[in-house]
Structure 1
Amino acid sequence: MTSSLGQRAREVVAALAPASGAGADEVERYARARWSVLTEPGDGVAGLVIARRGAAAALDLALSDGSAPDIPELSERDWRRARARWLPRRDDHPYPLELARRIGAQLVVPGDEAWPVRLDDLGVHAPPALWVRGRLDALPEAAAAVALVGARAATAYGVRVAAELAGELAAGGATIVSGAAVGIDAAAHRACVTVEGRGIAVLAGGVEKSYPAGHADLLANLSRQGVVLSEVPCGAAPTKWRFLQRNRLIAALADATVVVEAGWRSGSLNTAGHAAALGRPLGAVPGPVTSAASAGCHRILRDYDGRCITSADDVRELVGWDVAAKTMETPMDRTDDTTRVIDALSPRSPRDVAEVARRSGVEADRVSSLLGLLALDGRVVSDARGWRRGMP
């Protein structure tokens, strides 16, 4: 059934493949695209058969009327139940594939240069493919990645801490991973965009539609500097199950997960659980003991053996970055450059980045990053004319 593709299928698959570094052949890529339509996220039976037989052969088996393939871990009963889940969607693939082609999404599969091999740690529960919008170079293992997650109903304290952590880490070269929800997720993504850092937003629905709708501009900006991705195809709606399952991707895509603010039963604890199961470092930001919004963080520190996170340096230590290396800066370096940039600004007359760089003696790229960080806590402000010092 997948051994040969029709002309239209070939055209669609070619349009979805990454422009460079495409490692899978067209039949295998097409099969993985169809598997992402057939299954719900984390389907272990599909993952097992794909791992043992390859995506194309596994798809032929799934769509045939035969008995279970000869795989020791797979029973006939589990195979029949899995096919009963999959077959109602056997003809649902043309629309998602065409929609992805129309919006310019790319389909990244194992073997592609852009495939994030961290996901392979999920084993048979790894996604068969990723639907991606943005810069594919944000996906591989080039830099340390940190997941910053937390409550939707975040407090001002949680939003500020998330922004400060994300801004400083992204400015230092880390990739920020989160789920694009309101609250802590959005604060982390916005800070990453502000400092022109690299981020990954993992959606629970198709990448063609922003969810929530109010984050359309945020996700558009993020996709210009990083990527917006999903394991479910275009047109798929975000559901409670898909939100929970996408949390395993957030944990797997990051070298460490930090929960910034979370209630006792927050969904962020689900992400923390996935990180712990994967053996990835886990941290949490403490809050007031009287705050219900931080009860989940305190639970992580007590029950999950999480590391207490109070600064970006704590996160760097959690990830294992060498703070003495050239890619990282010491607190004194950051303080000195920050002071020079602030000194180069006027409280009244806006100045552009080039002028601030000239006055401060700090390189322009570094000035841009520092201004973004300083803007997070109001020490500098900007408008169409440039940057100026904020109110003391």
Structure 2
Amino acid sequence: MTPEAAAGADLAEGGGGFGVGGGVADAERLARAALTRVLEPGDEQGGRWLREFGAVELMRRLTSPAEEEAAPAGVGEQRLSGYRIRAAAAVPERDLDAVAAGGGRFICPGDLEWPRQLDDLGDARPVGLWLRGRPSLRTWALRSVAVVGARACTPYGAHMAAALGTGLAERGWVVVSGAAFGVDGAAHRGVLAADGATVAVLACGVDVGYPRGHAELIGRIAEQGLVIGELPPGAHPTPSRFILRNRVIAALTRGTVVVEAEYRSGSLVTARSAQKLGRFTMGVPGPATSGLSAGVHELLRGEGVLVTDAAEVIELVGDMGELAPARRGPVLARDLLDPVAARVLEALPGRRPAGVREAALGAGTSTDETIGRLYELHSLGFVERHGDRWQLTPTATHAPIERRGGS
């Protein structure tokens, strides 16, 4: 689906592009926006509280220190104190105004735009998502694939990631990645070059261009696609946030493709998250001697599926009938011969002429049949006659069929 089509779907649902559609009350939205400053991404304890109390009640309890009996249970006093300090400092109206000023929005469970597959994360589900970009995230996520891999990738890895991005985009698929250096950036650029749809999932605020070297790329993605994140405006990334961000990439998409990854790689965290969620997990093989492909190869030895291009990815994650083309080597002219003629051709020695009786004996046919087949092979250019003897032509065994007219 093109970005324009997805935007149209968003408008049809009542999302209004830059607005938010759905039945979420203002108090719920404000509370969830505030909680993105209180709870770290993937905080399962916070997710249990949300499930038990709801966002509005949870914020009330965290901001009412006088009501000790109302304090959420399940964590130590020191950790609870940290939650309270962050809750008291949260100003959700300011964050919502800031993201709206940049052409963005905040969505949460209950909105029409909320991708329901994120609910598979259970208590680790995002509190909400901050977005930049016009299209509907829910619509795009329905037909999306994650392409992730090494930051310090090789030229081969960058080429494969870009080719996958372009190929998927040309077939109407949305490519989701993390906007990092290396494979992520190459995949996004491949999509943008094809004027396709791509989503960048950040481990910081959507108004923060990180990594700084990709600030321009992230801006292009926001214009042509979507930039999303769990953290509020102005929030900066940390190592743990990068790891936790990967679960969103895995849950949002139908499958994850890993292009180059060492044994200890955040990309493998994404792949393992996808496996746990029942999503497809794929890997692009590399040289057996490459340490950057070692993690991918380990993945492929398990439940991962080997893929080499976009068609093979879509065959796995797409609808019934979306099959990759059959793979085969070049068709040789001799492949088209009937079985008897092929046996006569094979019976002729490779380096010297042979008589009819020798060829008939080798082919297991009569002399008359052999003579007829030899004249047939002569007309096709496979053999040449030297008196009463026959010899293979130089191209008899290796000449491929000449393709014409695109066939």
TM range (shorter): 0.7 to 0.9
Once the two structures are overlaid, the 10-residue window that deviates more, 239-248 or 219-228, is 219-228
CA contact (8 A) 2:255 2:274 kept: yes
Structure exhibiting the larger radius of gyration computed from Cα positions: 2
Residue deviations 1:290-342 (CA, integer Å, cap 9, x gap): 11110110111124x10011121221122143344xxx89689xxxxxxxxxx
Match of 1:64 in 2: 64
Match of 1:210 in 2: 209
Change over 3 Å in CA distance of 1:160–1:236 after alignment to 2: same
Match of 1:134 in 2: 133
SS of the residue corresponding to residue 238 of structure 1 reads coil
Q: For residues 238 and 20 of structure 1, what CA distance do their matches in structure 2 show?
A: 26
Q: CA deviation at 1:122?
A: 0.6
SS of the residue corresponding to residue 139 of structure 2 reads coil
Match of 2:181 in 1: 182
Match of 1:312 in 2: 310
Match of 2:346 in 1: none
Match of 2:150 in 1: 151
Q: For residues 255 and 164 of structure 2, what CA distance do their matches in structure 1 show?
A: 13
Q: CA deviation at 1:17?
A: 10
CA contact (8 A) 2:141 2:253 kept: no
Q: For residues 217 and 185 of structure 1, what CA distance do their matches in structure 2 show?
A: 14
Q: For residues 229 and 47 of structure 2, what CA distance do their matches in structure 1 show?
A: 17
Q: For residues 305 and 69 of structure 2, what CA distance do their matches in structure 1 show?
A: 45
Q: CA deviation at 1:141?
A: 5.6
Q: CA deviation at 1:93?
A: 2.4
SS of the residue corresponding to residue 140 of structure 1 reads helix
Q: CA deviation at 1:220?
A: 1.7
CA contact (8 A) 1:113 1:140 kept: no
Change over 3 Å in CA distance of 1:142–1:202 after alignment to 2: closer
Change over 3 Å in CA distance of 1:83–1:186 after alignment to 2: same
**What percentage of residue pairs aligned between the two structures are identical?**
42
Amino acid aligned to 2:47 = G
Match of 1:21 in 2: 21
Change over 3 Å in CA distance of 1:123–1:93 after alignment to 2: same
SS of the residue corresponding to residue 288 of structure 1 reads coil
Amino acid aligned to 1:232 = L
Q: What count of residue pairs does the alignment treat as equivalent?
A: 309
Gaps of 5+ in 2: 1-15, 328-407
Match of 1:12 in 2: none
Amino acid aligned to 1:64 = S
Change over 3 Å in CA distance of 1:309–1:126 after alignment to 2: same
Change over 3 Å in CA distance of 1:130–1:153 after alignment to 2: same
TM-score, normalised on structure 1? 0.73
Match of 2:99 in 1: 100
Amino acid aligned to 1:319 = V
Residue deviations 1:81-138 (CA, integer Å, cap 9, x gap): 6522311212332354443243232101111111111111111111111010002324
Q: For residues 63 and 163 of structure 1, what CA distance do their matches in structure 2 show?
A: 48
CA contact (8 A) 1:323 1:329 kept: no
Amino acid aligned to 1:189 = H
Q: For residues 253 and 69 of structure 2, what CA distance do their matches in structure 1 show?
A: 35
Q: For residues 331 and 138 of structure 1, what CA distance do their matches in structure 2 show?
A: 34
Q: For residues 151 and 34 of structure 1, what CA distance do their matches in structure 2 show?
A: 34
CA contact (8 A) 2:130 2:206 kept: yes
Q: For residues 248 and 124 of structure 2, what CA distance do their matches in structure 1 show?
A: 10
Gaps of 5+ in 1: 1-15, 333-392
Change over 3 Å in CA distance of 1:52–1:18 after alignment to 2: farther
Match of 1:345 in 2: none
CA contact (8 A) 2:20 2:107 kept: no
CA contact (8 A) 1:163 1:190 kept: yes
Q: CA deviation at 1:142?
A: 6.5
Q: For residues 307 and 100 of structure 1, what CA distance do their matches in structure 2 show?
A: 39
Q: For residues 27 and 76 of structure 2, what CA distance do their matches in structure 1 show?
A: 23
Q: CA deviation at 1:228?
A: 0.1
Q: CA deviation at 1:31?
A: 0.3
Change over 3 Å in CA distance of 1:253–1:212 after alignment to 2: same
TM-score, normalised on structure 2? 0.71
SS of the residue corresponding to residue 265 of structure 1 reads coil
Q: For residues 247 and 318 of structure 1, what CA distance do their matches in structure 2 show?
A: 21
Q: For residues 267 and 286 of structure 2, what CA distance do their matches in structure 1 show?
A: 15
Residue deviations 1:238-260 (CA, integer Å, cap 9, x gap): 11011011000110111100101
Residue deviations 1:342-368 (CA, integer Å, cap 9, x gap): xxxxxxxxxxxxxxxxxxxxxxxxxxx
CA contact (8 A) 2:17 2:136 kept: no
Change over 3 Å in CA distance of 1:212–1:307 after alignment to 2: same
Q: What is the aligned-residue RMSD (CA, Å)?
A: 2.4
CA contact (8 A) 1:145 1:176 kept: yes
Q: For residues 97 and 137 of structure 1, what CA distance do their matches in structure 2 show?
A: 18
